[in-house]
Amino acid sequence: MDVRLWTFILVGLSFALYIGVAIRSRAGSTKDFYVAGTGVSPLANGMATAADWMSAASFISMAGLISFMGYDGSVYLMGWTGGYVLLAMLLAPYLRKFGAYTVPEFVGERYYSQVARVVAVACAIFVSFTYVSGQMRGVGIVFSRFLEVDVTVGVIIGMGIVFFYAVLGGMKGITYTQVAQYCVLIFAYMVPALFLAVMLSGTPIPQLGFGGADPESGVFLLDKLDGLHRELGFTAYTDGTKSTIDVFFITAALMVGTAGLPHVIIRFYTVPRVRDARVSVGWALLFIAVLYTTAPAVAVFARTNLLDTVAGQPYEAMPEWFSKWEDTGLITFEDKDGDGNIRYVGDADANELTIDRDIMVLANPEISRLPNWVVGLVAAGGLAAALSTAAGLLLVISSAISHDLLKRALKPDISEKGELLAARISAAFAVVVAGLLGINPPGFVAQTVAFAFGLAASSFFPVIILGTFTRSMNREGAIAGMLSGITFTAAYIIHFRFVNPAADSPANWWFGISPEGIGTVGMLINFAVALTVSKFTSAPPASVRELVDRIRVPGGTG
Amino acid sequence: MPHPNPYWARNLRYLTILLAIWFAVSFGCGILFADALNAIRIPGTGFKLGFWFAQQGSIYVFVVLIFVYARLMNRLDRECGVAEE
């Protein structure tokens, strides 16, 4: 059977599975809709969190990015996993004890302020929309490349599926479909990785094969790759080109941003008890780590294969996948010296080949000539990753609108049924907006990822920490902290990414910190401003101090 | 002066120790001292130690840290009589 047929079958089967799961887990109440009735087991929640967290970017782009960045790619590996340690120790147990439905709800109650709540709602909605448009685009790419349908049709099909289970089942439907999606995506990621590990290093475990040797020559893969890189004029794979301070700040911003992302935080509201929240973060990171420790191995295998297949080879001899990706414009070859051979080198003026980093994982099975069904499986996995993350984000948007704005701020006397209907309508609205953003992506989608993490790091993280670990932090301090952190971070990113992109280089950055890493500075500013302002303004009321004491100790969660 | 809430004081002590390890394996071994550690190789593999911490080791340690914290806190919950049913 050919690749296209396999892809249709595997994608179709996986979609049927998600719909089947969704029908079995419909939401009957707002508690079901927002937090799955707080009845999810820690293990299932861990799996759902892993699928929620691992987006199209983790599945499709990350290994490719690392394979082009080498050591510098470590910022994503450490940054997108280390945040879970912060989450487990500093956030999840206390937020679970507090027992809210959303992140803005915690901010509003702890800081006894509607202003703080609304600022938090605005941050949550902005961060989530930024993120979700990227997911919808990932769906479109997979459809257009593997099923050869138009990107628009692909996005509409994806929207239809998400619409079905997010609107019908809310958090309950999302949670159990995410469990299924985790299984699909991790299987789809591991199968080609195992094939590659056996082919390149003679061991089936990618994490070991990564440090292993070529079975024929006995040369270690990493040494071989460093050698090839030097020959072609790239920086050695295991060295980086980024400065140490920049790597430090980017890693910190991604870690803190991860811990501050609302769609990740609310997952830990769904388990029954505080102790379940703690251990559930552990399960989540374990399931994430399976993919995140495999990705750098895949990166090395892919890079080695790519260099072996294309560098210095005649253009005429390129296999079929090469021309297919050329059709999509994601690979371009320009024969500058006219000799018909592909010169792929570090020097930009002499280099003749441009490869989009995003295609590495998708193209990998074809580059390595794996069986057709593996290619179809990777397509189904990429869709699982994109859809599961999109659904989690859409739920944050819908609950921010129906619960935080409508129920808590505008219309407190709304009935349970009315709120559930409002939640469904706002979820439907969010799906449509996200789909439109996916079909017509604003040119800055890729650039705004730095925004999402920077904003989460510089807004939510400090106020939640201060709200739990100090009893004296007050309304004024929290609002001043959030606003100053966000404003600083946003101004820095907007300046270098949108207003004056020509100046976006290490020479002009403050202390050599890139816009990706500036969220760390924004977070420090937030902490400093909040602590200073709270010293000079009135202390929070006694009821809030009691609330903090209650949050710190488990017991009595409902 | 003894902390008014012994449960919270113990929790803070666990946090300090575990987060120090968290910082040491990632920001320490994986970033600040990566170049120095790269002079060492993990025997029998192609891994330079700093590179390995940055792309593998730190992640394994993160997972272990969370499970250790969860266990320590479960024990503390029972000792202080605040464990949940």
Which residue of B5, B54, B66 is in closest CB contact with A74? B54
Nearest CA among A392, A317, A331, A310 for reference residue A127? A392
Q: In this prediction, does ipTM exceed 0.90?
A: yes
CB contact under 8 A, B26 and A285: no
List of chain A residues whose C-beta atoms are within 8 Å of the C-beta of residue B77:
275, 554
Q: How far apart are CA A349 and CA A493, in angstroms?
A: 29
When pLDDT is averaged across residues A333-353 and rounded to a whole number, the result is 85
- pLDDT tens, residue by residue, A110-123: 999 999 898 888 88
- A contact test, residue of B7, B29, B62 with most A CBs within 10 A: B62
More confident residue, A444 or A265: A265
Beta-carbon contacts of A101 under 8 Å, excluding residues fewer than 6 positions away, are A30, A31, A34, A35, A266, A269, A399, A403
Write out the H or E segment, with its range, that includes residue A354. Answer: strand A353-355
Q: Identify the weakest region by mean pLDDT among A1-15, A179-193, A319-333, B49-63.
A: A319-333
Quote the percentage of chain A above a pLDDT of 70. Answer: 97
Q: What is the mean pLDDT of chain B?
A: 91
Q: Are strands A353-355 and A331-333 parallel, antiparallel or unpaired?
A: antiparallel
CB contact under 8 A, A78 and B58: yes
Q: How far apart are CA A162 and CA A325, in angstroms?
A: 28
- pLDDT tens, residue by residue, A511-521: 889 888 999 99
* d(CA A252, nearest CA chain B) in Å: 9
Per-residue confidence at A350, pLDDT binned at 50, 70, 90? confident
Q: How far apart are CA A488 and CA A468, in angstroms?
A: 24
pLDDT at site A331:
86
Alpha-carbon torsion (A434, A439, A441, A446), positive or negative: positive
Alpha-carbon torsion (A448, A78, A140, A34), positive or negative: negative
Nearest CA among A449, A396, A393, A460 for reference residue A90? A460
Q: How far apart are CA A46 and CA A52, in angstroms?
A: 10
Q: What is the mean pLDDT of chain A?
A: 87
Contact in structure between A27 and A172 (CB atoms under 8 Å):
yes
Contact in structure between A454 and A518 (CB atoms under 8 Å):
yes
- B contact test, residue of A89, A96, A251, A545 with most B CBs within 10 A: A89
The residue to which tokens 């440090």 are assigned: A211
pLDDT at site A414:
86
* d(CA B84, nearest CA chain A) in Å: 5
Examine the pLDDT at A555 and tell me if it is beyond 60.
Answer: yes
Per-residue confidence at A558, pLDDT binned at 50, 70, 90? very low
* Amino acid identity, position A239: D
Q: How many residues does chain B have?
A: 85
Per-residue confidence at B50, pLDDT binned at 50, 70, 90? very high
Tell me the residues of B at the A interface, defined by beta carbons under 8 Å apart.
5, 7-8, 11, 15, 18-19, 22, 26-27, 30-32, 34, 38, 42, 45-48, 51-52, 54-56, 58-60, 62-63, 65-67, 69-70, 73-74, 77, 80, 82-84
CB contact under 8 A, B15 and A90: yes
Examine the pLDDT at A557 and tell me if it is beyond 60.
Answer: no
**Helix (H/G/I), strand (E/B), else coil: B2:** coil
Q: DSSP letter at B34? A: H
When pLDDT is averaged across residues B40-69 and rounded to a whole number, the result is 94
Interface of A with B in 43-102 (CB under 8 A): 66, 71, 73-74, 77-78, 81-82, 84-85, 88-90, 93
- pLDDT tens, residue by residue, A127-167: 888 788 777 777 777 777 777 777 788 888 888 888 887 88
Quote the percentage of chain B above a pLDDT of 90. Answer: 76
CB contact under 8 A, A293 and B60: yes
Which residue of A77, A89, A556 is in closest CB contact with B69? A89
* d(CA B27, nearest CA chain A) in Å: 7
Tell me the backbone φ, ψ of residue B84, rounded to 5 degrees. -90, 155
Count contacts between A and B (CB, < 8 Å). Answer: 136
CB contact under 8 A, B51 and A238: yes
Name the β-bridge partners of A333: A353
pLDDT at site A307:
87
Contact in structure between A39 and A179 (CB atoms under 8 Å):
no
CB contact under 8 A, A85 and B19: yes
Name the β-bridge partners of B41: B48
Interface of A with B in 289-348 (CB under 8 A): 289, 292-293, 296
Rounded to whole angstroms, the maximal C-alpha distance in chain B is 53
Contact in structure between B25 and B18 (CB atoms under 8 Å):
no
When pLDDT is averaged across residues A206-230 and rounded to a whole number, the result is 88
When pLDDT is averaged across residues A267-285 and rounded to a whole number, the result is 93
CB contact under 8 A, B62 and A93: no
Q: DSSP letter at A332? A: E
Examine the pLDDT at A70 and tell me if it is beyond 60.
Answer: yes
Alpha-carbon torsion (A119, A123, A129, A130), positive or negative: positive
When pLDDT is averaged across residues A92-101 and rounded to a whole number, the result is 89
When pLDDT is averaged across residues A29-35 and rounded to a whole number, the result is 85
- B contact test, residue of A85, A274, A293 with most B CBs within 10 A: A85
Q: How far apart are CA B15 and CA B65, in angstroms?
A: 10
CB contact under 8 A, A207 and B83: no
List of chain A residues whose C-beta atoms are within 8 Å of the C-beta of residue B62:
81-82, 84-85, 285, 289
Residue of B nearest to A211 (CA): B46
More confident residue, A131 or A239: A239
pLDDT at site B1:
43
Which residue of A71, A212, A293 is in closest CB contact with B56? A293
pLDDT at site A474:
93
Which residue of A275, A552, A553 is in closest CB contact with B74? A275
Residue of A nearest to B81 (CA): A555
CB contact under 8 A, A555 and B82: yes
Q: DSSP letter at A331? A: E
- Both tokens of B30, joined, read 């994986």
Examine the pLDDT at A357 and tell me if it is beyond 80.
Answer: no
When pLDDT is averaged across residues A345-368 and rounded to a whole number, the result is 82
Nearest CA among A387, A373, A354 for reference residue A181? A387
CB contact under 8 A, A207 and B45: no
CA-angle at A125, arms to A439 and A184, nearest 5°: 60
- pLDDT tens, residue by residue, A390-433: 888 888 888 888 888 888 888 888 888 888 899 889 988 888 88
Write out the H or E segment, with its range, that includes residue A10. Answer: helix A3-24
pLDDT at site A132:
80
- pLDDT tens, residue by residue, A452-497: 888 889 988 999 999 999 999 999 999 999 999 989 998 998 888 7
More confident residue, A2 or A541: A541
When pLDDT is averaged across residues A219-247 and rounded to a whole number, the result is 89
CA A420 remoteness from chain centre: 28
Residue of A nearest to B73 (CA): A275
Q: How far is CA A442 from CA A152, A153, A438, A453, A465, in A?
A: 15, 18, 9, 18, 34
Nearest CA among A464, A47, A466, A289 for reference residue B65? A289
Q: Is A76 exposed, middle or buried (0-12, 13-18, 19+ CB in 10 A)?
A: buried
pLDDT at site A446:
54
Contact in structure between A54 and A392 (CB atoms under 8 Å):
no
Q: How far apart are CA B48 and CA B38, in angstroms?
A: 5
Contact in structure between A251 and A82 (CB atoms under 8 Å):
yes
- pLDDT tens, residue by residue, A78-89: 999 999 999 999
- Both tokens of B4, joined, read 């008014």
Quote the percentage of chain A above a pLDDT of 90. Answer: 35
CB contact under 8 A, A248 and B30: no
CB contact under 8 A, B19 and A84: no
Residue of B nearest to A282 (CA): B66
